[in-house]
Amino acid sequence: MIVTITAPRRLRGTISLPGDKSISHRAVLLNAVASGEATVTNFLVGADCLSTIACIQALGVRVERHEDMVRVYGMGLRSLREPVDVLDCGNSGTTLRLLAGMLAGQNGMFAVLTGDASLRSRPQHRIVAPLRALGAWLDGRDQGNRAPLAVRGAHLHGGAYDLPIASAQVKSALLLAALFGDGPLTLTGRTDGRDHTERMLAAMGAAITVDEPTIRLMPLDRPDALQPLSLRVPGDPSSAAFWWVAAAIHPDAEVTTTGVCLNPTRTGALDALRAMGAQIEVANQRDEGGEPVGDVTVRSSQLCGTVIEGALIPRLIDELPILALAAACAEGETIIRDAQELRVKETDRIATVAAGLSALGAAVEATEDGMIIAGGGNLRGTTLDSYGDHRLAMTWAIAGLVAAGETVLHGAEAVGVSYPEFWNVLGRIRE
């Protein structure tokens, strides 16, 4: 799919966001092993989350979906059925990694997890090694580092693990496996990734305590110990970030995103934009489904360069492509460092973002763990490719709103992974 974008005179609109992708995944996965029925509304109907539903259904759990409402009929902790075929996780690393943890504790079950070419190329040793330390049996290509991953459910034990990287997927895989263990799991180290799994487990009755940087989870002592959790999924801040940056870099813009998840582990993009001088207003703050939410309005701003590094990186890792675009439109230099995780996303996002921004006329230097962006704006339209990466596709679409001339995007359909309505919303706010 090829889309051509030109710069509009102004941007205006109030946007109701799709449900958060991370929370949508977990709502299905955890309710699948709860005891009873749960209703999830504002579920993200994107390709990644639909892969999670398909895998859970293949494991014998009844899941019904009506547009963005999902009903999960959980059958209890150890009730998953051995799949008769390979479980296809599509492009979703969350599906593969969290399911690997969950299935590792289903004693006696055998399953194979795979996905598309992009997912099969991503490293999996980061979950395989710690799960093996809990007694799990996993193997795959490249000595267990690449999918397809074979998982044979085993009797797991508790233990302690020091997380070397801030990865919510690794942390969540271990917590899901520990539900089936025979002793407590203690996690230390880089536990500062997204905490949606911890919040949801606590809301469902699991014995989990969080005392930064230590997380301790007791295994469940009964098959029906996990209670179903019905919730409305808050708006996805990773999706909202594209509209925040669009408003900040456009000369005549005011855009409001409603019901955004404001979990502190997810608001790094707002903090980075504030540091760059963006005009941001947060209103109507409240709590939904155990998560803080609010309405965020961003207006045209004079941005300046900044440094994005350290503890901020896990809080905005998925938003770094669009923040790099903001940096290209700011005055002064922006340095992004400590973000080597970008190298192993759907694409090597350091290389692809730097190349795309350079093609748009920005001065960018890719480094091993980030980028140095000179800033200055004056982008010019060009032809770009998403390479099948949804965040690249949306970043280049936003670039087209401020670049001179036409920006032609190949692979525009990639937005369907996380934001199927993206192009419709873009058309609405530019009119």
Residue 275: how many other CB atoms lie within 10 Å: 16
Q: What is the pLDDT of residues 134-164, one digit of tens each?
A: 999 999 999 888 999 999 999 998 899 999 9
302: Cβ–Cβ under 8 A, 6 or more apart, which residues? 277, 331
* Residue-level pLDDT at 220: 84
* Residue-level pLDDT at 104: 95
Which of 168, 199, 232 represents a domain boundary (last residue)?
232
Residue 288 has pLDDT above 90, yes or no: no
Rounded average pLDDT over 122-139: 93
Q: How confident is the model at residue 112 (pLDDT cuts 50, 70, 90)?
A: very high
Categorise residue 126: left if φ over 0, alpha if ψ from -120 to 50, beta otherwise. alpha
Q: What percent of the chain has pLDDT over 70?
A: 100
Rounded average pLDDT over 114-127: 93
Q: What is the pLDDT of residues 86-100, one digit of tens each?
A: 999 999 999 999 999
Q: How confident is the model at residue 431 (pLDDT cuts 50, 70, 90)?
A: confident
188: Cβ–Cβ under 8 A, 6 or more apart, which residues? 160, 161, 162, 163, 213, 214, 215
Quote the domain boundaries for residue 418. Answer: 2-17+234-429
Q: Cα–Cα distances in Å, from 200 out to 50, 108, 172, 184, 213?
A: 20, 27, 11, 18, 18
* Residue-level pLDDT at 389: 95
Same domain membership, residue 217 and residue 238: no
**Residue 359, domain CATH:** 3.65.10.10
Q: How confident is the model at residue 247 (pLDDT cuts 50, 70, 90)?
A: very high
* Residue-level pLDDT at 83: 97
Q: What is the pLDDT of residues 316-366, one digit of tens each?
A: 999 999 999 999 999 999 999 999 999 988 889 999 999 999 999 999 999
Q: How confident is the model at residue 166 (pLDDT cuts 50, 70, 90)?
A: confident
**Residues with catalytic function:** 318
Residue 35 has pLDDT above 90, yes or no: yes
Rounded average pLDDT over 157-173: 91
Rounded average pLDDT over 32-51: 95
Rounded average pLDDT over 60-72: 97
List, as one string, the DSSP characters of 88-129.
Answer: E-TT-HHHHHHHHHHHHTSTT-EEEEE--HHHHHS--HHHHH
Same domain membership, residue 276 and residue 184: no
Residue 223 has pLDDT above 80, yes or no: no
Which of 232, 253, 287 represents a domain boundary (last residue)?
232
Specify the higher pLDDT residue, 166 or 42: 42
Of the candidates 88, 95, 130, the one whose C-alpha atom is nearest the C-alpha of residue 112 is 88
Same domain membership, residue 263 and residue 226: no
Same domain membership, residue 177 and residue 255: no
Q: How confident is the model at residue 124 (pLDDT cuts 50, 70, 90)?
A: very high
Specify the higher pLDDT residue, 113 or 144: 113
* Residue-level pLDDT at 188: 96
Backbone φ and ψ of 192, nearest 5°: -90, 15
Query: Which of helix, strand or coil describes residue 54?
Result: helix
* Residue-level pLDDT at 127: 93
Same domain membership, residue 270 and residue 186: no
Same domain membership, residue 351 and residue 261: yes
What value does the mean pLDDT of the chain take? 94
- Per the structure, how many domains does the chain have? 2
* Residue-level pLDDT at 344: 82
Which of 232, 263, 287 represents a domain boundary (last residue)?
232
Give the integer Cα–Cα distance in Å for 153 and 212.
31
Q: What percent of the chain has pLDDT over 90?
A: 88
Tokens of 308: 């994005």
* Residue-level pLDDT at 224: 79
Same domain membership, residue 285 and residue 187: no
Q: Which one-letter amino acid corresponds to residue 43?
A: F
Same domain membership, residue 210 and residue 246: no
Same domain membership, residue 262 and residue 132: no
Rounded average pLDDT over 58-70: 97
Same domain membership, residue 7 and residue 149: no
Same domain membership, residue 273 and residue 399: yes
Backbone φ and ψ of 338, nearest 5°: 70, 20
Same domain membership, residue 217 and residue 81: yes
